[in-house]
Chain A
Amino acid sequence: MAQRAAREIGDGYYVNLGIGIPTLVANWIAPGLTVTLQSENGMLGMGPFPYLEDVDPDIINAGKQTVTEIPTTSYVSSADSFAMIRGGHMDLSILGAMQVSERGDLANWMVPGKMVKGMGGAMDLVAGVKRVTILMDHVEKSGAPKLIKHCTLPLTGRAVVDLIITDLAVFQFLERGGPLSLIECAPGVALEEIQRKTTARFDVNLESR
């Protein structure tokens, strides 16, 4: 999934990668592209994880992991970092999700009565970044679909998703708010399985690319 998501990153892009699997996308960025990774805690131009002896407690990413700077790095305050995000200067945000609806609503921050962690920067990212790509398992551990008609969990944003990459397929919203199209099946995955595990309505448009 991370490898597939990396294909969404173009030359010159400024990209924010969410915590977890989206972080792994950095490993698959095609050589030869100039891509600048942003971390919303105030780092533009993020390098790889450090060697053990180079660990610096003052250089962390938004997942609180130690990272390194590169020759073009700049540091900013949280207010300036979110000005980049909210102001529409960032090209792409890749985030995880609990649920996505057929109109592109996203829920990825809260399970009432169970998980109380907070939304962090997710609401700002989906509101402000030009393109929002979701990376998620197609179904929950219980087998319940995550790509559904209406989100039942509290929303992170309404009609904010552009592309969804799962372990089974890739879906696209040609415009924000729908309609949803299936554009790729993962290798060896039949259309029937995708239909069975998806309750969101979608068009099948596998020739689009």
Chain B
Amino acid sequence: MRQKTFTDANAATEGLLWDGMTLMAGGFGLCGIPETLIEAIRRSGVRDLTVISNNCGVDDFGLGILLAGGQIRKMISSYVGENKLFEQLYLAGKLELEFNPQGTLAERIRAGGAGIPAFFTKTGVGTIVADGKEVRSFKGQDYVMETALTADLSIVKAWKSDTEGNLVYRKTARNFNPMMATAGAVTIAEVEEITDPGMLDPDHIHTPGIYVDRIVQGMAYEKRIERVTTRPRPILEGVG
């Protein structure tokens, strides 16, 4: 009988990692990243990775740990400003980099999972992003052609799943995870809680289980925050 749930991240990634592969990793900043699976990929020592992810973590957390270990050859991202090591490696010529506008990146991944090889967008027309790409006019407006992205393996983070791999994300931790789940030849989801069938409302599933091949429950989520920003409590008159 098919079994999607795995006991730990090592078991979940078994047989799916090889040098030179293309990997998609969900998350925005450090929010909604598959931190347990990233750690397993670090431990595996796999190298020459092409990684498709909006950001590249920070120096010592998230995808930054793969960068620090020299495991990444190329990044396809929209913003990497939180990672100093990234900038150093890139300016030293030790890392390939392809910047995509964030919406174009999201749509390229969505297209990859939906069987659409390319699409036209007005984002980036007249900029270096459009260099070397076909530009076509529709109803008097110029659009640039962007191609779909897929990966050998997608790793995503969800809040809850059932044993079928139906996924529910939590708040802004959703971000790139739903599209990436559709665009991997194989997709592994790590979740905070695996529930029994019937415990999730079918109307509230964000990613149906057809897109998810393997599921693993993450342990002890750090959920590091990049910029804790708060407001002070109003001070009550006559108190304190």
B5 at the A/B interface (Cβ < 8 Å)? no
Given A50-B231, A82-B106, A120-B78: A57 and B223 interface contact (C-beta under 8 Å)? yes
Question: Can you name the residue of chain A whose Cβ is closest to the Cβ of B54?
Answer: A78
Encode A136-171 as 1/0 by CB contact (under 8 A) with B.
000000000000000000111111000000000000
Question: In whole Å, how far is B86's beta carbon from the nearest beta carbon of chain A?
Answer: 8
Cβ proximity bits B16-56 to A, threshold 8 Å, 1 near / 0 not: 00000000000011111000000000000000000000100
Interface residue range, chain A: 35 or more
List the one stretch of A28-36, A60-68, A186-194 in contact with chain B: A60-68
Stretch of A2-10, A122-130, A197-205 on the interface side: A122-130
Shortest CB-to-CB span from A98 to chain B, Å, is: 14
Q: Is the CB of A41 within 8 A of B124?
A: no
Which residues of chain A from 49 to 81 have a CB within 8 Å of any chain B CB? 49-52, 55-67, 69, 75-79, 81
- Are A124 and B102 in contact (CB-based, < 8 A)? yes
B82:A64 contact, CB within 8 angstroms: yes
Tally the A-B contacts, defined by beta carbons under 8 Å.
177
B178 touches A79 (CB 8 A): yes
By the criterion CB–CB under 8 Å, are B102 and A120 in contact?
yes
Q: Which one, B125, B224, B225, contacts A55 given CB within 8 A?
A: B225
Known interface pairs A52-B230, A118-B80, A118-B99; A78-B126 also in contact (CB < 8 Å) = no
Q: Is the CB of B227 within 8 A of A64?
A: yes
Q: Does B1 contact A (CB under 8 A)?
A: no
* Chain B hits for A69, CB < 8 A: 171
Chain A contact residues, CB within 8 Å of chain B? 39-43, 48-52, 55-67, 69, 75-79, 81-82, 85-86, 105, 113, 116-124, 127-128, 154-159
Query: Can you give 26 contacting A-B residue pairs, CB < 8 Å?
Result: A42-B174, A43-B171, A43-B172, A55-B228, A59-B171, A64-B29, A64-B227, A65-B227, A65-B229, A66-B228, A77-B177, A78-B176, A79-B179, A82-B103, A118-B79, A118-B80, A119-B101, A121-B101, A122-B101, A123-B103, A123-B127, A124-B104, A127-B121, A127-B125, A128-B123, A156-B127
